[in-house]
Structure 1
Amino acid sequence: MTRNPALLPLLATIIGIGFFSAMDAVMKSAALAVGAFSAYFLRCAIGVCLAAPIWALTNLRWPERHVLRIHLTRGVVGAFMGLSFFYAIVRLPLAEAIALSFISPLIALYLAAILLGERVEQKAIVAAMLGLIGVIIIVGGRIGRERMTEDAALGLAALFLSALLYAWNLILQRQQALVASPIEVSVFQNGIAGSVLLLGTPLLLVIPQDHTVWIDLVSGAVLTILAVLFLSWAYARAEAQVLVPIEYTGFLWAALFGWLMFDEMVTPATVAGAVLIVIGCWIATRQTPPEQTAI
């Protein structure tokens, strides 16, 4: 029996995305209370306070210039990606927002070829297309049963901006994972994104008065660190094109957390789209049998 070398990175990616989806849910709750900007900035600040001591105790070493450049790029991209995403999920159901963001893996597959020199296999393209069709079914079901409001339209616009940035983020995640430890990635991701957002705090920052909002923010920071640790470990051990389609499982997590926390119901169109998403993930992660060689 041939062992699939991508199995452990695959499982780590699924778990990491689960942590991210749980984070999205608690952050939606916090953003509804204090706004997307304040929720995201405070989560980044808390994340740095939690991750930096661990980094200092394990392997405190300032990154080399080329590594720092990757940290800076991903941090800046992450700042605007996260802000636009949290703005969107305040205005859209969580599961559908996640589903709409799945244009990112499709874009990322081609960015992996351009920026990382990876050869995009046919099965990865088929998997991405199946996932995208599943998303179209979900969105079509929503548009067919609801009238688009101005607030929802703004949410969609922010979500598509976030999706474009997230596609770039997926590639940067692979580059970053190859040159830095997971805890270092977490420290710089939160620190740089928070530093960018710091510029807007004089005008936009709202300090929560309700202790439950602080619980959400701390929970969001912890879940983010766990997600980054799992995903950084996975992306250091498998190509982006293998792991990117697994991003589609985020919809299943989001549907669960949206139902549990916000009573957001899952429609038949959502289920049908999810089935295609899962099939796409299965195709992407199937291992091609190795060719027989003479001994």
Structure 2
Amino acid sequence: MPAAQASTARTGPRVNLAVAEAIAGIALLSVMDAIIKGVAARYPVIEVAFMRFAVGAVVIGAILAVVRPGWPSRETLVVNGGRAILVVSTATTFFYALSTLPLAETLALSFLAPVFIAGFGALILGERIDRRIVGALVAGFVGMLVIVSGKAGGGSLEGSALTGAIAAVASAVTYALAMVLLRARAAKDPVVTIVALQNGVSAAILAIPAAFVWVTPTAADAMLFAAIGSLGVIGHLLLSRAFAKAEAARLAPLEYTALVWAVLLGFVFFGEMPTLSTLAGAALIVGGALIASRR
């Protein structure tokens, strides 16, 4: 077998596994987003973000005790600690958007992230963007525009909703940069170490601001916060493993599959009926994701 064919044979299953892990991780994080939308109506956004990472730190700490990846290097601490600032910015802006917008619309606006991921991947990591990935990104971006134009045309994208929309777009930029930096470190650091620092450092950054706005959770809400932290850790572990196996540009369009979950969860738990523009945009988005994930 020629060397090129042998390399492709080895790479194919690896990329396919990365795609499966990314889709599963995105599904779990979508469920987490739905729970966050529910509790954000009762607690300050800063507290919600702190609890998400504090519980996540406990969960990943238990995993570290079993896996024992070894102590992180100074470089690992500095780089991943700096990345945690981006993670905090992403969480707080996105959670605010969730508190002011319907779940599906929040996810739709955040779908600018794959465009930025592909761009940052090319600029920072020197990754190649082929025509198939460009086509998938364009299809997803057009789908997002269809959804947003439907909301704007209906006059529902104004006031606090407009502030939430701006926050959602801002979170897309910081999320994209954080995920590309994740891929840059995933080849050097154990995935569990990356996720542990992401949760631990983020919780430490948010601890003092959260103390000033603290509202003691009820027993039922404490369970929801436990679920949020657990889903966040498992989802990001899966995404971290995926980004360690495949190029950021290839995985970026898979972010669009979150819209399917957002529409379903928004309808079931919040009574948010998807509009025709949302469904049309979702069709474009999912189609683009499927094209990009095929070899």
The TM-score, its normalising length taken from structure 2, stands at: 0.92
Partner of 1:121: 130
8 Å contact from structure 1 (residues 124, 284) kept in 2: yes
State the one-letter code of the partner of 2:21.
A
Partner of 1:27: 36
SS of 1:199's partner is helix
Task: Select which of 185, 188, 193 maps to 1:179.
Answer: 188
8 Å contact from structure 2 (residues 109, 148) kept in 1: yes
State the one-letter code of the partner of 1:258.
G
Does 2:204 correspond to 1:195?
A: yes
Query: Deviations for 1:45-88, whole angstroms, at most 9, x for unmatched residues?
Result: 11111211220231152211222233112211001110110011
Does 2:222 correspond to 1:214?
A: yes
The 5 A counterparts of 1:7-46 are: 7-46=16-55
Q: How many residue pairs were aligned?
A: 286
Q: Which runs of 5+ in 1 are unaligned?
A: 288-295
The 5 A counterparts of 1:83-102 are: 83-102=92-111
The 5 A counterparts of 1:236-255 are: 236-255=244-263
8 Å contact from structure 2 (residues 69, 192) kept in 1: no
Does 2:74 correspond to 1:57?
A: no
User: How many angstroms does 1:91 deviate by?
Assistant: 0.2
Partner of 1:162: 171
Distance 1:201 1:90 in 2: 17
SS of 1:27's partner is helix
Distance 1:50 1:75 in 2: 17
SS of 2:246's partner is coil
Q: In the superposition, relative to structure 1, how do residues 158 and 135 fare at CA in structure 2: closer, same or farther (>3 Å)?
A: same
8 Å contact from structure 1 (residues 29, 216) kept in 2: no
Partner of 1:291: none
What is the identity percentage for the equivalent residue pairs of Structure 1 and Structure 2?
34
Q: CA RMSD in A?
A: 1.6
Does 2:87 correspond to 1:70?
A: no
Query: Deviations for 1:159-212, whole angstroms, at most 9, x for unmatched residues?
Result: 11111111101202212322222322221111111111123134223221x222
8 Å contact from structure 1 (residues 248, 277) kept in 2: yes
Distance 1:230 1:148 in 2: 34
The TM-score, its normalising length taken from structure 1, stands at: 0.92
8 Å contact from structure 1 (residues 185, 228) kept in 2: no
Distance 2:139 2:130 in 1: 15
State the one-letter code of the partner of 2:126.
G
8 Å contact from structure 2 (residues 69, 190) kept in 1: no
Does 2:115 correspond to 1:106?
A: yes
Q: Which runs of 5+ in 2 are unaligned?
A: none
Q: In the superposition, relative to structure 1, how do residues 8 and 219 fare at CA in structure 2: closer, same or farther (>3 Å)?
A: same
8 Å contact from structure 1 (residues 124, 241) kept in 2: yes
SS of 1:173's partner is helix
